[in-house]
Amino acid sequence: MSERLDRVKAKLAKYGQEQVLKYYDELNEKEKDELLSQIEATDMEILDACNHKEDLVKRGVIEPLAAMELSEIEANKERFTDIGLEAIRSGKVGAVLLAGGMGTRLGSDNPKGMYNVGITHELYIFQCLINNLLDVVHQADTWIHLFVMTSDKNNEATVSFMEEHAYFGYNPKYVHFFKQEMAAATDYNGKIYLEEKAKLSTSPNGNGGWFISLEKAGLLDLVHNQGIEWINVFAVDNVLQRIADPCFVGATIDKKCVVGAKVVRKAAPDEKVGAMCLEDGKPSIVEYYDMTEELMNAKNEKGEPAYNFGVILNYLFYVPDLEKMMASLPLHIVEKKIPYLDENGRLVKPESPNGYKYENLVLDMIHQLDSCLPYEVVREREFAPIKNKTGVDSVESARALLEKNGVRL
């Protein structure tokens, strides 16, 4: 043990993280072993990034990328839908639900998908999403493989909830859970918090790790065996979104793009959504906080705002190109509320952000691929994200939009 402890201490000293052994002497043997194992397995190299945050995401040359707008989609709707349905019927389309997040803004202890948005009857977020996917299952008359990404923190709760509710009518043979990786969470100086005396604070490592985690879970074999060529990745929180939407699938295939991205027309030039663009000639997303005045005011040849389409975290990826692209993704440092032990060893669940989480984001995958089709959808019909309890992007706003779209609450 002592040699092992020495090695762990050396690692901690190298990264200036000795504080995590504060309670070591109070622990029993099993706890000591667990803590040492966790320290051994934790990537501490990345934590230094919080000291040079500004260098992390250096932007290239940003230029506009035209979207396929509603009028063009409408004019080709039948043809795109046929192409999409054909791909779905031949088993070429799967879906990945990103449900590994902590949903801290919503502030519920359960996974976000377990949130009940119903008023007169139960209607869970997971149920809304399954209902939306079932529309396509019925239209195509075939099941679609649904992969659900969870994390260490919410896997058990998610899996048992789905089982208890009989997958809301989905065929369990077509539902596959996999867990994403975790990363350490730190204070503002990059020091790892403890969440228990024998446990480092960790959080899921962002939604960008989904493809690698899918592979690590052995599910890429299933993707290959089943002949899945396209994967529609979508967020848990948008209760109105269409999943494996045949017209979207068909348009992306027809335009010979290796990614399709559903986008909405921005409500205002400074709206807080990432906008589709080209960066150094490759498809990319410029985050709202990187939108300069110049970009906000730029116009395209039609005289319309050049960066007018925001992403809604619903992407269709072509699997063979994803496999070629295994380069590492840039790191994002995100301010969050992180539960931690205070100086008296008591657990604190902070009311406001108190540190950083270290994440990879799915939007960075786009930039590593060669072609992307931004595909416009009608905001009121397909975009009702639930991030907060009230106000913008909340349970309230999503309920109003669900009702507007004829969903009984």
Q: What are the Cα distances from residue 219, in Å, to 144, 158, 173, 327?
A: 15, 18, 13, 20
> Footprint of ligand UTP on residues 115-154 (CB under 6 A)?
149
> Footprint of ligand UTP on residues 292-351 (CB under 6 A)?
none
Contact status: 387 vs ligand UTP (CB under 6 A): yes
The answer to whether residues 93 and 144 touch, using CB atoms and an 8 Å cutoff, is: yes
Contact status: 180 vs ligand UTP (CB under 6 A): yes
Q: How far apart are CA 246 and CA 317, in angstroms?
A: 14
Contact status: 204 vs ligand UTP (CB under 6 A): yes
Burial of 294 (0-12, 13-18, 19+ CB in 10 A): exposed
Q: How far is the CB of 306 from ligand UTP (least distance, A)?
A: 26
Q: How far apart are CA 65 and CA 376, in angstroms?
A: 13
Segment lying near ligand UTP (by CB under 6 A), choices 102-110, 120-128, 140-148, 264-272 = 102-110
Burial of 71 (0-12, 13-18, 19+ CB in 10 A): exposed
Segment lying near ligand UTP (by CB under 6 A), choices 20-28, 234-242, 283-291, 368-376 = 234-242
Contact status: 262 vs ligand UTP (CB under 6 A): no
Size, binding site for ligand UTP by CB under 6 A: 20
**What letters, b where the CB count within 10 A reaches 16 and e where it falls short, cover 38-61?**
bbeebebeebebbeeeeeeeeeee
Q: How far apart are CA 238 and CA 397, in angstroms?
A: 11
Q: How far is the CB of 102 from ligand UTP (least distance, A)?
A: 4
Q: How far is the CB of 304 from ligand UTP (least distance, A)?
A: 28
Q: How far is the CB of 136 from ligand UTP (least distance, A)?
A: 19
Q: How far is the CB of 162 from ligand UTP (least distance, A)?
A: 15
- Beta-carbon contacts of 210 under 8 Å, excluding residues fewer than 6 positions away, are 96, 98, 100, 149, 180, 233, 362
Q: How far apart are CA 341 and CA 188, in angstroms?
A: 15
Contact status: 207 vs ligand UTP (CB under 6 A): yes
Segment lying near ligand UTP (by CB under 6 A), choices 44-52, 70-78, 132-140, 198-206 = 198-206
Q: How far is the CB of 160 from ligand UTP (least distance, A)?
A: 18
Residue with Cβ nearer ligand UTP (108 or 292):
108
Selected from 64, 94, 190, 206, the binder of ligand UTP by CB under 6 A is 206
Contact status: 101 vs ligand UTP (CB under 6 A): yes
Contact status: 98 vs ligand UTP (CB under 6 A): yes
Contact status: 355 vs ligand UTP (CB under 6 A): no
Contact status: 235 vs ligand UTP (CB under 6 A): yes
Q: How far is the CB of 111 from ligand UTP (least distance, A)?
A: 8
Burial of 230 (0-12, 13-18, 19+ CB in 10 A): buried
Contact status: 394 vs ligand UTP (CB under 6 A): no
Give the CA radius of gyration of the chain.
Answer: 22
The answer to whether residues 268 and 364 touch, using CB atoms and an 8 Å cutoff, is: no
Selected from 68, 148, 236, 286, the binder of ligand UTP by CB under 6 A is 236
Segment lying near ligand UTP (by CB under 6 A), choices 37-45, 67-75, 205-213, 315-323 = 205-213
Q: How far apart are CA 280 and CA 45, in angstroms?
A: 28
Binding site for ligand UTP (CB under 6 A): 98-105, 112, 149, 180, 204-207, 235-237, 359, 387
